[in-house]
Amino acid sequence: MRFLLYETGHAQPSAPPSQQMMEEVGKFTEETKRAGILLATGGLAPLGTRVRSSGGKLAVTDGPFTETKELTGGFALIEVKSREEAIEWAKRFRKIVGDGESVVQEVFGG
Amino acid sequence: MTATDAHHAIDAVWRIESPRLIAGLTRIVRDVGLAEDLAQDALVAALEQWPESGVPDNPGAWLMATAKHRAIDRLRRNERLERKQEELGRDLVLQQEMSVGNLDAATPDDVGDDLLRLMFIACHPILAPEARVGLTLRLLASLTTEEIARAFLVPVSTIAQRIVRAKRTLTEARVPFEVPVGAELDARLASVLQVIYLVFNEGYSATAGDDLIRAGLCEDALRLGRILVGLAPQESEVHGLVALMEIQASRSRARVGPSGEIVLLLDQDRARWDPLLIARGLAALDRAEKLGGALGPYALQAAIAACHARARTPAETDWARIAALYDALAQLTPSPVVELNRAVAVGMAFGPAAGLELVDALTAEPSLRSYHFLPSARGDLLAKLGRLEEARAEFERAASLTQNARERDLLLGRAAACSRS
């Protein structure tokens, strides 16, 4: 089973992560590789561009979008045995990065 | 947290932690069977305590500490009965381990070394291939006996006995917990790779209608392969095997049609191939080749799979390269089946007459006598050469040899087309 793990939050500029946290995150990524579960991972630029279609019209807007939570930080695509295992990995990630929210969503097809 | 939630969470922790837990314990107690028992004891303790106390901050360390305490208990109990020299030694090692502290003291490399040793033990040539598969899935992929039995379509008791016997065999033979060196390493590594590929093929042969657990074996094998890449990154054939599995897995959705039938490679909808797995496979193949392993048996098979993966349409397939790769594979691991595949590639690359010449040389091969792919390949080449009457006879013979109803229909259809033309 594949799951996408990502962080959500408001795209407000916040203090950059400390060197120590970056190292911890690096170690965690390494651990997921060693466990054979990491298919793809990457960091995301803080501001995105939104492409919206409505009534056949397209609108392109640059962020930030204060009204909704958006994908921030980074993402990981993992392949694990169960939803619970995906959640366990997300918990381990949160213990390292501290306050905030991660979302675990199953990926179909792929 | 409800008890059910807690059990699910514990199950997830177990999936992640149990291989390294068992590996670390095997290093200490020098017995896979005992190590697994101790790990199970720790699991039971977790199931008793965690629903009340919550999952500890470092569940892996908790499980290891608990298992070590159980190990000491057991040794003390044995001590009262009979104090063996060997156990004295074990006790000493344990005491040192306990004083050093928990799992945190072990670096990722230490844990990796233990896992690699565990893989070598589980795939030891002293065990029958099916026992190696069972033990590997149980100890390294954290599958339960029930899951293994369901995946391999055999009774639970069969798998349970197989695993018990395998552990006993390893204990009685006093198989050392080590990574083999020198010439032995190649042979032992080949056994590990073979076990992983067996698991993969078992899953790959399951079709859409089959039990999901069965198809899950592909993911289990891939996970084991990806773990092994981390443990033995300098071994080119490990990358070769992973490349082969990633590329084959990339086609798993395209190879089954709407009614569960197998769709042949050249008929597959390539838009349904998984580009992520193809990219991972090609990268793994590249690593195998950079390590000087382009001519390893798995790397060669991966390179053949890669030729198909790189072609956007069947017409773009580099058949000349595939023929050359089969040629290299035939020299390395000669077999009539490899020869037959080479003949087909030659036919695609250099014309049906060239292919037919090679196929004709195989018609007397005893091991291919009841292999439907031989007359079906021969029929295809004959049809392309316009020798339709001979082609029809070959397709009919192929149809009579295949076990697969859908394939039989396909072959009979081709035979009928020959008569119509």
H and E: helices and strands count for chain A:
2, 6
Residues of chain B that touch chain A, judged by Cβ-Cβ distance less than 8 Å: 8-9, 11-13, 15-16, 57, 108, 112, 142, 216, 219, 222-227, 230-231, 253, 274, 276, 280
Phi/psi for A104 (5° steps) reads -115, 115
Asked whether B353 and B385 are in contact (CB, 8 A), the reply is yes
State the smallest CA–CA distance between residue B274 and chain A in angstroms. Answer: 7
d(CA B413, CA B398): 12
* CA B283-B285-B287 angle, 5° bins: 70
Question: What is the model's pLDDT at position B76?
Answer: 79
Q: Where are the alpha helices (DSSP H) in B54-173?
A: 59-81, 85-100, 108-122, 129-139, 145-151, 156-172
Contacts of A26 in chain B (CB under 8 A): none
Does B108 contact A30 at a Cβ distance shorter than 8 Å? yes
pTM, whole model, 2 decimals? 0.89
Helix, strand, or coil here: A26?
Answer: helix
State the smallest CA–CA distance between residue A84 and chain B in angstroms. Answer: 5
In tens digits, chain B (421 residues) has pLDDT values of: 577 878 888 999 999 999 999 999 999 888 999 999 999 999 999 999 999 998 898 999 999 999 999 988 887 777 655 555 555 566 666 666 665 444 445 677 778 889 999 999 999 999 999 999 999 999 999 999 999 998 888 999 999 999 999 999 999 999 999 999 988 999 999 999 999 999 999 888 776 556 666 778 999 999 999 999 999 999 999 999 999 999 999 998 898 888 777 788 999 999 999 999 999 999 999 999 999 999 999 999 999 999 999 999 999 999 999 999 999 999 999 999 999 999 999 999 999 999 999 999 999 999 898 899 999 999 999 999 999 999 999 999 999 998 777 788 889 999 999 988 6
d(CA B397, CA B415): 10
The architecture that CATH gives domain A2-107 is 2-Layer Sandwich (3.30)
What are the tens digits of pLDDT across the range B364-417? 999 898 899 999 999 999 999 999 999 999 999 999 998 777 788 889 999 999
Helix, strand, or coil here: B14?
Answer: helix
Closest-CA residue of B relative to A31 is B108
Asked whether B305 and B244 are in contact (CB, 8 A), the reply is yes
Please, what is the average pLDDT of chain B?
A: 90
d(CA B393, CA B418): 9
State the smallest CA–CA distance between residue B19 and chain A in angstroms. Answer: 10
State the smallest CA–CA distance between residue B119 and chain A in angstroms. Answer: 14
Does A87 contact B12 at a Cβ distance shorter than 8 Å? yes
Phi/psi for B335 (5° steps) reads -160, 145
Contacts of B9 in chain A (CB under 8 A): 84, 87-88
Does A36 contact B112 at a Cβ distance shorter than 8 Å? no
* In the block, residue with structure tokens 């067996």: B198
Partner residue facing A34 (CB), from B12, B108, B276? B108
State the smallest CA–CA distance between residue A41 and chain B in angstroms. Answer: 12
Q: Which amino acid is at B195?
A: V
Partner residue facing A34 (CB), from B11, B12, B112? B112
Does A40 contact B276 at a Cβ distance shorter than 8 Å? yes
d(CA B227, CA A36): 5
* Interface predicted TM-score (ipTM) of this complex, two decimals: 0.87
Asked whether B331 and B312 are in contact (CB, 8 A), the reply is no
What are the tens digits of pLDDT across the range A5-38? 998 875 555 667 788 888 988 999 999 999 999 9
Q: Where are the alpha helices (DSSP H) in chain A?
A: 19-34, 83-97
d(CA A29, CA B270): 32
